Structure 1
């Protein structure tokens, strides 16, 4: 009963970690392939973010009924469609005439692109939109087959989850080393091998017995997170750039353990504001940050000389984060205002 009461309260630790994960994704997209000092090491440190998002989603979905699951699926599906249309408009609006627009469309949608979108949720318009497609597919699978998964013995559910997680990662690392195999990133980074196992992990953590999980103290958890992140950097040093590292997986599990075993329910107002931003804006930040990233990097290349060492370029993620948060907050406040207005009219 005590745990049920806690689950009904708002855990600010989860929302703060969502905010940190959103910033990590911006860093990942800014530094990947940039060539500046510490770029790929930073990317390795940030790889935990998407798994953590899927785990939190599964954790909350475990408490949803089918009606709530359907609403969540439709919400994410609408975001995915709107996101693709928005980035498609960005590509087509600068074209000077209909012929140029058709040529750009043919470049965006080469043969096989629709197949990859439907089978692997790989957006041909903007690569980062794969997450929304994968999220929608995972929610649909949970809506249709979640009841069947929940009926399996707990050890069987964990075996399936870990087999998808570690089997997909192993297959990715082995096949990408073989130049004779046509193995693309989207063959691994999709709803089945990447999104689903972390989503199921979150569900299993929510539905498991918390009493059986050995609680790691706050001060014990932070050094373990540091060591897991260090492992991810070491993996980068030995394996090169990868989409996911074992250290990233360990970091995600440690952070969700930290969030659930050290919940922050009562917090000062500044922390509650940050928590609100993590709860209400992270999806918008994920969707919109590429716009601001391209804009600020464009300004950098126009007005600054390229710097390998730490400099202005390394601060670009902070600017992108601030702009994305501001727009996300405006959208969230607008939604709240509309809901309040509709509620008043309904009671009038």
Structure 2
């Protein structure tokens, strides 16, 4: 199926904002308000990723076999990249003589690996999708997706409120896996994407400029809502908001109504998921290299907005490079080592 290039562009924009969130944009410049505002503004990015998954997953020709294959594919991605992060942090612990710390972190990681991993923490997104898709598969099999959608809306709103009001309700800050999980976050946005696919975009009479203006307004409203949760309820969660729902929907509809025709976008967008999987690794590597080899604190370079933007772009570029290098190494390993061994084993078996 030919992908909508407008959605591919939205995917690129979303991953850029995700890197902004994880790189603690502007936090190192001493302008905390800017950091808080930018972080809140970017919160539509992960829900958009969920919605894109939902938009493509339940196509009219999407069979149960394809559905199962998608879940298996995502599970393989998760296992592979989780292994990469565990291996990386093990090597770092070995070099820095911090194996006891690694052992403790590893135990924690394995305890929550099916909900919210410690190593490669951004991979919680994959876990969300895998669990959510299994639930959607069951409800779709019994033709009860509408009921699940209603349930997911309620669960998402519950998630927003209990995460922001955890101190008032439970007298403690809830762990992230209890508030940012597939039931309270991923499930709703994935199903939302499937239902947006059923909407006839051409029947939406609003001018695209109006939709864009509303999208920007709702993104800015996330910033306002974050401050309100903090001021009125002393909330420290500050991740997803009620306004995020409207920001995500309006951005997605604006994207579908837009006509983007650029072959380069589709090619570059193929790096969106590799950037997501690898950007945390790249951020850590860049920080370590700048400190230990160049003897430069990278946060000094990021002491202003230009430095922060530059850093985010560099992280994205290096993530792409790392992905290409890893891909070529795996291909070389398969051609030079695995395939010859496999052929030899088959010949030996036939000779028996």
Whether these two folds match at TM > 0.5 is yes
Number of paired residues? 316
Once the two structures are superposed, residues 256-314 of structure 1 have per-residue CA deviations (whole angstroms, 9 ceiling, x without a partner) of 112223343xx2xxx32122222x22111111011211233345564257365435244
* Match status 1:258 vs 2:254: yes
CA distance in 2, matches of 1:273, 1:311: 26
The verdict on how the C-alpha distance between 1:27 and 1:195 changes in structure 2, with shifts beyond 3 A counting, is same
Whether the aligned pair in 2 keeps the contact of 1:58 and 1:203 (CA below 8 Å) is yes
Change (3 A) 1:295 1:109: same
Partner of 1:343: none
Aligned mates of 1:66, 1:237 — CA distance in 2: 44
Aligned counterpart, 2:317: 322
2:273 to 259, 273, 283: 283
The equivalent of 2:80 in structure 1 is 82
For the residues of structure 2 that align with 1:215 and 1:336, how far apart are their CA atoms?
50
Q: Does 1:145 align with 2:139?
A: yes
Whether the 8 Å contact between 2:152 and 2:184 is mirrored in structure 1 is: no
SS in 2 for 1:69: helix
Cα displacement (A) at 1:53: 0.6
- Name the residue aligned to 1:173: 164
- Return the offset for 1:245: 2.0
Contact 1:138–1:195 (CA under 8 A) maintained in structure 2: yes
Q: CA deviation at 1:180?
A: 2.0
1:300·1:313 contact (CA, 8 Å) conserved in 2? no
Q: Distance in 2 between matches of 1:233 and 1:122?
A: 26
Corresponding position of 1:50: 46
Separation in 2, partners of 1:281, 1:247: 29
Matched residues in 2 for 1:42 and 1:319: separation? 18
> Can you list the C-alpha shifts for 1:107-136, whole angstroms capped at 9, x where unaligned?
3314xx544333xx1102232121111122
CA distance in structure 1 between the aligned counterparts of 2:318 and 2:272, rounded to whole angstroms = 12
1:180-209: CA deviation from partner (whole Å, max 9, x where unpaired) = 235112101011111000011111222x34
Q: What is the DSSP-based 3-state SS (H/G/I as helix, E as strand, rest coil) of the residue aligned with 1:216?
A: coil
Q: Where does residue 11 of structure 2 map in the other structure?
A: 18
Out of 130, 136, 139, the residue aligned to residue 130 of structure 2 is: 136
2:165 alignment partner, SS class: helix
Kindly state the Cα deviation for residue 65 of structure 1 after the two structures are TM-superposed. Answer: 1.1
Change (3 A) 1:214 1:181: same
Distance change >3 Å, CA 336–CA 256, structure 1 → 2: farther
Answer whether contact 2:201 2:256 (CA < 8 A) is retained.
Answer: no
Pairwise CA distance, 1:331: 6.7
Unmatched 5+ stretches in structure 1: 1-7, 338-348
Cross-structure match for 1:5: none
Question: What SS does the corresponding residue of 1:123 show, helix, strand or coil?
Answer: coil
- Sort the Cα spacing of 1:273 and 1:326 in 2 relative to 1 into closer, same or farther, 3 A: farther
Structure-2-length-normalised TM-score: 0.79
For residues 274 and 121 of structure 2, the distance between their equivalents in structure 1, rounded to whole angstroms, comes to 16
| Alignment-derived partner of residue 217 in structure 2 | 227
Deviates more, 1:320-329 or 1:9-18: 320-329
When residues 288 and 186 of structure 1 are mapped into structure 2, their CA distance, relative to the original with a 3 A threshold, is same
